[in-house]
Amino acid sequence: MEVFGRDPGYDTTFDPIVRVTAAEIRKRIAQYYQDAGKPDELRISLPPGSYIPHFEWPKSPVVMEATPAIAMPIAIELGSSTLAPGRSAQTTEQKNKVSRGFHTSRLLACGLLLAIVFVGGWTWVRSRPTTLDRFWSPVLSAADTVVVCFPQSDINGIILRDAANPLQQRRLEEKMNGVVVVVDDLQPLVSLSGLLEMRHQRYNLMGEEAATLTTLRQGPAIFIGAFDNPWTLRLTRDLRFRFGNNSEMTQFWIEDTQSPAKTRWGVDRNLQQTTNNYRDYAIVARFTDANTGQLAVVAAGVARGGTVAAGEFLTRTGNMDSIRSQAPKDWAGKNMEFVLSTEIIDGRSSPPKVEATYFW
């Protein structure tokens, strides 16, 4: 997690950076020991399927050299009158010291090699753009100010509390048209504007009632929400995945216009209101809109929990990595659209899951 900058729950199937780096280390080690002049030094290996290094001492040279060292004290103990065994033992001890120093230096060299490879791999990974970076690159590289278009809601009253006794409250009838943002829309709004802020991209927050075709033609735009944002419905109605509903406004869904069976991902409004536990769906898209001529990014759920999941998908590193297995090699330069799902439990959305993808 620390070396490669990944989240604890990232999917290793779509991000094999650890395996790739380990394979590179194994290759470097194999190249190092190919030199015939290294038979007596400590051997370090990284077995396939494991990231734990193994250390193996050299066999034949050390065993052959150790034999006289063991025999020498025996000759002296038997009372040999010659001083040769002592001199021989001293010579062997000197050789052992030299050999240990040699092995130590080689061990340090191998450790340094591993450190260099790991640091190089870490630097390489950190410098590589993530899937999220590549998705946002056209927006973040735009010279024009990005418009973030969010839904607005109407309320007919406001609750005020007494300053001396906050438990005492009073409802005032006051129409607040066009200035209210629902909390579930506010969360992705804050996340997306925060992403633009951190990347030093100029942006302008604009309610859907204030947005016009003229303003949307001036630069890229991000659209939050679906059935409470008419601009989202206008921009997505010609896409492969689009929103739909029945005339009673009790059933809402996302449909696949290219599916013969007209695949639908839907939400029952009655179930949503009565239980607050349901499965929600969302559309995330990035495409050049034919009406504005500008890049458009959509983060919109069938219900509000889906919009929250879409905002999370577009701002958290690792969420978008799951699309890479289904994406063409040059996907970053294409238009794209995804259908997401999320389980809503007691009104809170679970992590988003990709249901379908489309690139063109």
Per-residue DSSP letters for 209-266? TT--HHHHTTS-EEEE-STT-HHHHHHHTTSSEEEEE-TTS-EEEEEETT-TT--EEE
**What type of residue sits at position 240?**
R
Nearest partner of 220 among 206, 240, 209, 241, judged by Cα: 206
∠ CA 214-228-305, nearest 5°, is 130
Digit-coded pLDDT (tens) for 80-120: 444 455 555 556 666 666 566 666 677 777 677 776 666 65
- Quote the tokens at residue 84: 């040769």
**What type of residue sits at position 9?**
G
CA 92 – CA 67 distance, rounded (Å): 10
Per-residue DSSP letters for 60-109? HHHHHHHHHHHHHHHHHHTT---SHHHHHHHHHHHHHHHHHHHHHHHHHH
| Cα 237 versus chain centre, distance | 30
User: Burial level of 247, CB count in 10 A (0-12/13-18/19+)?
Assistant: exposed
For the chain, domain boundaries: 17-127, 132-359
pLDDT of residue 178: 52
Task: Provide the 10 A C-beta neighbour count for residue 225.
Answer: 29
pLDDT of residue 7: 76
Q: What is the pLDDT tens value at each position of the chain, 360 positions in all?
A: 778 777 777 777 767 888 888 888 888 888 787 766 666 788 888 888 788 898 888 775 544 444 444 444 444 344 444 445 555 555 666 666 656 666 667 777 767 777 666 665 555 445 578 999 999 999 999 999 999 999 987 777 777 888 888 888 887 776 665 567 888 889 999 999 999 999 999 999 999 999 999 999 999 999 999 999 999 999 999 999 999 999 999 999 999 999 877 778 999 999 988 888 999 999 999 999 999 999 999 999 999 899 999 999 999 988 888 898 889 989 999 999 999 999 999 888 899 999 999 999
CA 159 – CA 228 distance, rounded (Å): 24
Digit-coded pLDDT (tens) for 142-186: 999 999 999 987 777 777 888 888 888 887 776 665 567 888 889
Instruction: Please state whether the predicted TM-score (pTM) of the whole model is above 0.85.
Output: no
CA 175 – CA 156 distance, rounded (Å): 4
List the helix and strand counts (H, then E) for the chain. Answer: 9, 15
